[in-house]
Amino acid sequence: MAQVLEFKLPDLGEGLTEAEIVRWLVQVGDVVAVDQPVVEVETAKAMVEVPCPYGGVVTARFGEEGAELPVGAPLLTVAVGEGAEGHRPAADPGTDGGAARAGEQPGAGERRSEGSGNVLVGYGTSEAPARRRRVRPQGRASGAAAGSGTAGSGTAGAGSSGAGVPGRANGRVRAAEPVDGPVPVISPLVRRLARENDLDLRELTGSGPDGLILRADVEYALRAAAAQGGRAAREAGPHPDGTVREQALAATEPAGSTGSAVPPGDVRIPLKGVRGAVADKLARSRREIPDATCWVDADATELMRARAAMNAASGPKISLVALLARICTAALARFPELNSTVDTQAREIVRFDHVHLGFAAQTDRGLVVPVVRDAHARDAEALTSEFARLTEAARAGRLTPGELTGGTFTLNNYGVFGVDGSTPIVNHPEAAMLGVGRIVPKPWVHEGELAVRQVVQLSLTFDHRVCDGGTAGGFLRYVADCVEQPAVLLRTL
């Protein structure tokens, strides 16, 4: 007899808590094999194909293309065992029939026999995980009923709520009183967002599966609270200085922060996927890292000649970014303070004994930072090859989460955009980033004579907690010396 197994979105690792469905690779009724990719999802790190740990017939899919699901949410259900071929559903996915099948509990013996050989976090190689039923907050059903009963009175919900009647914020029902028991939240980002804004998650009813509280629920609640506070302040009258309170609030609140209607011509673009991950990381870097920047112009003529000489010889061509990376690793060996991170909880600086070098790469999906592992142990040829491989994978969207995390220092070659300088934001939780501008002919005093030389501007942004300006200046000066006189590197090779 066929058993229906539920496959949930697995933990894809590296702290990822949600993913967006990009493309379904199977249809309801299709026969799938163990470890066959069934859906392509986009995380904050990369696009990946998710394999199913069960073999059988797909009976239901959960989520349309473009939908964002939290880790642990159901992806699909599969009928396995004898009779699975005849278990093709007649109803559409997502109907009551599909939901009933998704709720069936298979026996332990069947689970072991249908184990997956693909290692996913949360999914073993020989046994599927035991299903855990998420606790539904008490009073959710009554809250939903009360909310539906008052849906017709639009103004009543906005201005006041009667005793025992839950309020509604942007279509999401809030419980009348905090509930006891576990709060249905999976994402640590959701918990942090609520904690930073003093929002009690027990007062919310989530819009996710089984009442799961999503990030959107918290954001809607915060916007609703801000809008309600703004109305109360405006109703309080003028300031003592004679200005109208509404004008003061309008001057301090950013446009669109209350979720008001978008004026004609304006467009709202969700911050999600790679763009959302970049926004979160840059904002966190600005909040937590007291950064400073120093810069210097350098004569790169000799470096360009050295590269031309290398490429004139037989063998693979050497890229300029590989030479700059080799200079970075040599400089970090002399100034290890910049190859570190700050453990804020322990109030300690952690210095690394390896260099995992990240480099900024612009793709159609946005800015990504692939990481070259053990860059300090690679020569120019190996660095060139790895840069090329990771760049191609980045443009094709094939980078894995492991190839986008774990960096200890970042190289940012923004000169490819035709600009001279920049003050880059440190790639949290790293401690420093080297920026390289374009290399262009400029007047330069060389050996006492005015000459036209190939000049580049170098900038270093660093975390002032890990070192002082003298260390940062010494690092940047050594990099500039190696650019101007590549033979300097021979002392440490």
Give catalytic residue positions.
464
d(CA 103, CA 131): 10
Q: Which residues contact 100 (CB under 8 A, 6 or more apart)?
A: none
As a whole number of angstroms, the distance between CA 106 and CA 103 comes to 10
Are 464 and 291 within 8 A, CB to CB?
Answer: yes
Task: Give ∠ CA 413-417-423 in degrees, rounded to 5.
Answer: 55
Peptide bond connecting 290 to the previous residue in cis, omega within 30 degrees of 0: no
Q: Which two tokens stand for residue 152?
A: 């017709």
- Interior angle at CA 7, CA 207 and CA 12, nearest 5: 80
- Specify the residue for token string 């011509």: 265
Q: What does the chain come to in residues?
A: 493
Task: Calculate ∠ Cα 168-169-172, nearest 5°.
Answer: 75
Torsion of CA 389, 394, 398, 400, to 10 degrees: 90
Separation of CA 33 from chain center: 31
Please state the φ and ψ torsions of residue 312, each to the nearest 5 degrees: -75, -25
- Burial label for 481, CB within 10 Å (0-12, 13-18, 19+), is middle
Pairing of strands 449-463, 440-446: antiparallel
Q: CA-based Rg of the chain, rounded to a whole angstrom?
A: 28
Closest-CA residue to 233 (of 247, 213, 212): 247
Beta bridge partners of 121: 11
